Structure 1
């Protein structure tokens, strides 16, 4: 089953815009492959304003959220794997959703250490027949 996060993120984003709210996204800035302005990261997280007037080339794909924005007057391409998205909320009233328990969220656990696969060993082979014919 496909993860529900991109669908929920797109729906909440559109809902906020339809209600004249300012969508913000909370990102785990320490997630692998995240590209965000590091000077604004606090406690390993960053909050980004994603209202259309603040971003360009905005895309919520099935695996990534990306856009271009200016930070301190300097343009930057932002790249956020959807596993790094912690929450989306409206600035005006904090309406939104935190992520992590939605269907398919376990597929985003790429940054979590995986337990080693157990070694598969064959059982020892016994010599001779295992069944005995009785008459």
Structure 2
């Protein structure tokens, strides 16, 4: 299956926006393909305001998030691979979702790599933190 991260980002962006709050992305600035203003990077991460009023031509795609914005008055185009997004949250109250820093493959880490179905036992759910 494909990653659920882009779908969750879009859904949480919509939820935050619908509640008249300001969505922010936490991004791994050192990830491959990230095009951001480097002068605002702290500890290898950057926080980006992706509200409708701050991000011009915002596109929350399946592979990349892109938009135009002003940084210290200077216009810049931003490009962030979805895999580099570490979280999305509301500035005002911190509510949102954090994602794992590295999104291995498409299969969860506790699943076998082949397509062999599990044998016996009951299906179970586990809490993911």
Structure 2: tracts of 5 or more residues without a match? 107-129
* Structure 1 CA distance for aligned equivalents of residues 83 and 39 of structure 2: 21
1:96 deviates by 0.3
Alignment partner of 1:15 is 2:15: yes
Structure-2 separation of matches of 1:107 and 1:50: 27
Mapped partners of 2:23, 2:90: distance in 1: 5
Alignment gaps of 5+ in structure 1: 109-135
**1:68 alignment partner in structure 2:** 68
Aligned residues: 105
1:100 deviates by 1.9
Q: Give the alignment of 1:92-107 within 5 angstroms.
A: 92-100=92-100, 105-107=103-105
Runs of 4+ with deviation above 6 angstroms: none
Partner Cα distance (2:76, 2:58) in 1:
12
Alpha-carbon deviations, 1:9-68, whole Å to 9, x = none?
000000001001100000000001100110100000000111110111100111111100
- The answer to which structure has the higher helix fraction is 1
TM-score under structure 2 normalisation?
A: 0.78
Rg (Cα) greater in structure: 1
* Aligned ranges 1:115-134 → 2 under 5 Å: none
What is the rounded CA distance, in whole Å, between the counterparts of 2:16 and 2:95 in structure 1?
A: 9
**TM-score for both structures, normalised by structure 1:** 0.75
- Report what 1:28 is aligned to: 28
What is residue 130 of structure 1 aligned with on the other side? none
